[in-house]
Amino acid sequence: MRKAVFVSSFMACFMAASGIRAANEAITVPVVLADYYAWAYTEAFEDHADIYAWSAAGVDALGWTLFFAANDYDAGLFFVNADGIAKTLYPVVTLLGASDPGVRQRAWIAVGTHATTLLTLEILGRPALNVQTTLGPNRDGCGLTIAYKF
């Protein structure tokens, strides 16, 4: 076990220092969606953590609404990322406080899927999101485009 932790830590430090560029979005985007959306919400609703689950869904909805509808990219990504942190911390807190074996099992699965997702993103690269505001005819910022690199 110690060897695996050491190797994982070494790989994470190496990958962080190597300046990996975004790539492999065909793999990384579905992994993130499956982990942080499908499994995270399944776990929360299965655990009957309704207040947390609906709050997380509301923060996600607010973040993506601000991002796409209100064109407030900084605020939108702030809320989406804050909810991502909550989805990462929830299973850890659940492991510390749950006595129900089903809840603990789902929490261990979530910790494993989050670790796998983070390692996948470090190894393959994070999904690229480019917000370009200089594509207008006069290069005046009026030609806003959002491009996901796939």
- Note whether residue 17 is domain-resident: no
- Note whether residue 4 is domain-resident: no
- pLDDT number for residue 7: 39
Lowest mean pLDDT among 21-25, 37-41, 93-97: 21-25
- Note whether residue 47 is domain-resident: yes
Q: Report the pLDDT averaged over residues 32-56.
A: 92
* Whole-number percent of the chain with pLDDT over 90: 41
The model's confidence at residue 127, banded by pLDDT at 50, 70 and 90, is low
- 49: domain range? 29-148
- pLDDT number for residue 121: 83
Reference 132, options 121, 108, 148; nearest CA is 148
In the chain, count H helices and then E strands. Answer: 6, 2
- Note whether residue 13 is domain-resident: no
The model's confidence at residue 28, banded by pLDDT at 50, 70 and 90, is confident
Q: Are 114 and 35 spatial neighbours (Cβ–Cβ below 8 Å)?
A: yes
Q: Report the pLDDT averaged over residues 66-90.
A: 89
- Note whether residue 83 is domain-resident: yes
- Note whether residue 96 is domain-resident: yes
- Number of domains making up the chain: 1
What stretch of H or E contains 132? strand 129-132
- Note whether residue 121 is domain-resident: yes
The average confidence (pLDDT) of the chain is 77
Rounded Cα distance between 150 and 146, Å, is 13
